[in-house]
Structure 1
Amino acid sequence: MGNLSYAILGTGALGGFYGAKLQKAGNEVHFLLNSDYQQVSQNGLIVESKDGDFLLPQVNAYNNVNKMPSCDVVVVALKTTQNHLLTQIVPPVVKNNGIVLVLQNGLGIETEVVQIVNNVTVIGGLCFLCSNKVGAGHIHHLDYGKITLGEYALNYHPVGITARMRAIAKDFENAGIEIELTEDLLLGRWKKLVWNIPYNGLSVILDATTDELMTNLYTRTLVEQLMFEVQLGAKSTGRILPDSFIHTMLEYTVNMKPYRTSMKIDFDENRPLEVEAIVGNPLRIAAANDFSLPLIRCLYQQLKFLDRRNSL
């Protein structure tokens, strides 16, 4: 599966960063843009990164998916609040027997994608990335960047490490992106939620950055309690997260640069929040298995209130 071509659907802080790295490494990459189309089509992409700044003066930029060529790998890097668009933008650009790589936060995303396209492989990607879009076609990469890849099968049945996963991993690793392959995508998604639920949620509710949450005794305790509830949610689906993983996530966050989470940025910019995918879906899945997650439910209810008020 050499010489894979890539379509990036959602050229923001995440999709723009990974797509730019892939192109810089020599891959064929096509970018779908909205408001940034004019700027990027004329001036390319700028990436400021802790790993070294670079400019791509020319990129394959589109503002209409029907003008894009069919690609081997379609990277879904939109916020989940825009997933209603997937039925329109994924089928025209993915090759038959191609791959849809879902780089989104939350739970249950892959099951949405398999209902949209047939004869494709769906792979989930869990990104541990601190990156912000600071201007049109201008991305600031602050820290980390690792992606965990796992292939989706019906009901999240573990399928092991596949050749398709390895092919994508090779391209990303050649682009300087750290990759981990997981045999169990659902386990990987719960692991990502250990970070996403407390930090995204509390950053909005408490108007705080990650360093502020970690340097205060009370909020650090709350973060840890929420993480242990995510661990319980994972257990409800038969996935076991060791306590050591939670302590690792806490230490990662202590050592990372001060960060305003993606949900906090969306809130500050009056954009819809990814409450359902990140918090609501895990709650509902745990409840369906007769597991109660009271702290996460409280977080969910507060976020729904703030999201609704922010949209008025």
Structure 2
Amino acid sequence: MARQLRQSVSPDTPILLMQNGVSNEEIAMEYLNKSCLYTAAVYLTARMTEPGIIETSGKPRLTIGSLDSGNKEKAKFLTHLFNEAGIQSKTSSNIMRAKWKKLLWNVTFNPLSAYAGVTVGQIIDHPKLRETAERALVEGMQIASYKGFIFQDELIYQIFKGARKADTHYTSMLQDRVNGKQLEIEAICGYFLKEATKLGVSIPVIQSLYQNLAALEKETSPKNPLHIEN
């Protein structure tokens, strides 16, 4: 997409990335002018109640920043546009740290919820599932530190405390499994595994989740969706 987009926009066209993970920014910078690249951490709780109908809970939030530290004012302007449109937004001077923090939340709950077929709250309340989730988070934090994003152990408490607000939430990956869709394992688990391989670091929990989900994905299809009894 970045390669094709380069041929269709002027060098000074602002481009805002709004995807999960942290690899999209790395790819985009290979093909597009870094000074025109912006990214956002998107916080949105939503579910598809039926084809074409999306139901949200709470208010969507954006954290926006420039990939070029010299473009803070333009990032603030983009934030202003979203606020004017009624979407709660703020500007970050270290947007990739915000993106990493969200990715760490995702790797804590998304893969495990999809594999076990449980909500965020059920993970927190089940001792073994919670232990697995915490171990995945610690492994993710280890990789983040090698990439230059160091988080204190306090983040573990913060993530689980904040997750209480989403007790009954079906993570996006669980929703995909329920609906027989392709799972987002590469952006969430695959990235950590690739980086761990480069570094020679072992992350057994994330690797196990990745392998189990990859196996499940072969069984997941619109003809064979997952049914969950509440």
TM-score by length of 1: 0.63
Which residues in structure 2 correspond to 1:1-312 (within 5 Å)? 90=5, 94=9, 96-117=11-32, 121-153=36-68, 159=69, 162-310=72-220
Pair 1:181–1:289, CA change in 2 (3 A): farther
Deviations 1:199-224 (A, max 9, x none): 11011110111121122222122222
Q: Which has the higher helix share?
A: 2
Give the superposed CA RMSD. Answer: 2.6
Deviations 1:212-256 (A, max 9, x none): 112222212222221111111111112111222221111111122
Listed one character per residue, the Cα deviations across residues 39-90 of structure 1 (whole Å, up to 9, x for unaligned) are: xxxxxxxxxxxxxxxxxxxxxxxxxxxxxxxxxxxxxxxxxxxxxx5655x4
Greater relative contact order (Cα < 8 A, sep 6+):
2
From the superposition, tell whether residues 160 and 209 of structure 1 become closer, same or farther in structure 2 (CA, over 3 Å): farther
TM-score relative to the length of structure 2: 0.84
What residue ranges of structure 2 are gaps of 5+ in the alignment?
225-230
The answer to which structure has the higher strand fraction is: 1
- Secondary structure at 2:13 match in 1: strand
Going from structure 1 to structure 2, the CA distance change for 1:146 and 1:242 (only over 3 Å counts) comes to: farther
Q: Which residue does the alignment assign to 2:228?
A: none
Q: Is the 8 A contact 2:44 2:59 kept in 1?
A: yes
Consecutive unaligned residues in structure 1, runs of 5 or more: 1-84, 154-158
SS at structure 2 position matched to 1:128:
strand
Give how far 1:263 is off: 0.9
- Distance verdict in 2 for CA 1:300–1:151, change over 3 Å: same
> Once the two structures are aligned, what percentage of the paired residues are identical?
26
Kept after mapping to 2: 8 A contact 1:94/1:100 = no
Q: Report if the CA contact (8 A) 1:237-1:286 is conserved.
A: no
Distance 1:286 1:148, change over 3 A: farther
Counterpart secondary structure, 1:162: helix
Letter in 2 for 1:243: D
Corresponding letter in the other structure for 2:105: W
| Pairs aligned (count) | 222
Does the 8 A contact of 1:205 with 1:303 survive in 2? yes
